[in-house]
Amino acid sequence: MPYGHQYIDESDVAAVAAALRGEWLTTGPTVAAFEAEIAAIAGTDDAVVVTSGTAALHVAYAAAGVTSGDQVIVPALTFAATASTASLLGAEIVFADVEEDTGNIDPESVAALATERTAVISAVDYAGHPADIDVLLPIARAAGALVLEDAAHSIGSTLRERPVGSLADLTTFSFFPTKNMTTAEGGAVVSNSEALITASRGFRGHGLVRDRAEQRYPNEGPWHQEIHKLGLNYRLPDVLCALGVNQIRRLAEFKASRTAVFERYQDGLGDLDGLTLPTKRSDVDPMWHLFPVRVHDGRRREVFERLREEGILVQVNYMPVYWHPYYEDLGYRRGLCPVAERYYSEEISLPMYAHLDASDQDRVIEALRSILA
Ligand SMILES: *Cc1c(COP(=O)(O)O)cnc(C)c1O
Q: Are 1 and 291 in contact (CB under 8 A)?
A: no
Alpha carbons 6 and 65: distance in angstroms, whole number:
34
How sure is the predictor about 136, in pLDDT bands with cuts at 50, 70 and 90? very high
Decide: 265 in ligand 1 pocket, CB within 6 A.
Answer: no
Return the percent helix, strand and coil in the chain, to nearest 5: 40, 20, 40
The number of the ligand 1 atom at minimal distance from the alpha carbon of 78 is 13
Number of H helices and E strands in the chain, helices first, is: 13, 15
Condensed to tens digits (0 to 9), the pLDDT of residues 93-129 reads 999 999 999 999 999 999 999 999 999 999 999 999 9
Distance from the alpha carbon of residue 354 to the mean position of ligand 1, in angstroms: 19
Q: Which whole number is the average pLDDT over 64-81?
A: 98
Indicate the average pLDDT of the chain: 97
* Domain covering 251-372 in this structure, CATH number: 3.90.1150.10
Distance from the alpha carbon of residue 303 to the mean position of ligand 1, in angstroms: 26
Judge whether 10-248 and 251-372 match in fold. Answer: no
HSE of 216, CA atoms in CB hemisphere, 13 A: 5
Decide: 58 in ligand 1 pocket, CB within 6 A.
Answer: no
Alpha carbons 184 and 177: distance in angstroms, whole number:
5
DSSP 237-292: PHHHHHHHHHHHTTHHHHHHHHHHHHHHHHHHHTT-TTEEPPP--TTEE---S-EE
Decide: 240 in ligand 1 pocket, CB within 6 A.
Answer: no
Task: For residue 344, say if its preceding peptide bond is cis, omega within 30 degrees of 0.
Answer: no
* Domain covering 10-248 in this structure, CATH number: 3.40.640.10
Distance from the alpha carbon of residue 53 to the mean position of ligand 1, in angstroms: 5
Decide: 187 in ligand 1 pocket, CB within 6 A.
Answer: yes
Q: Which whole number is the average pLDDT over 1-27?
A: 96
Q: Which whole number is the average pLDDT over 124-152?
A: 98
Decide: 174 in ligand 1 pocket, CB within 6 A.
Answer: yes
- Tell me, what's the pLDDT at 210? 94
Alpha carbons 196 and 202: distance in angstroms, whole number:
10
Condensed to tens digits (0 to 9), the pLDDT of residues 275-311 reads 999 999 999 999 999 999 999 999 999 999 999 999 9
Domain limits of the chain?
A: 10-248, 251-372
Distance from the alpha carbon of residue 174 to the mean position of ligand 1, in angstroms: 6
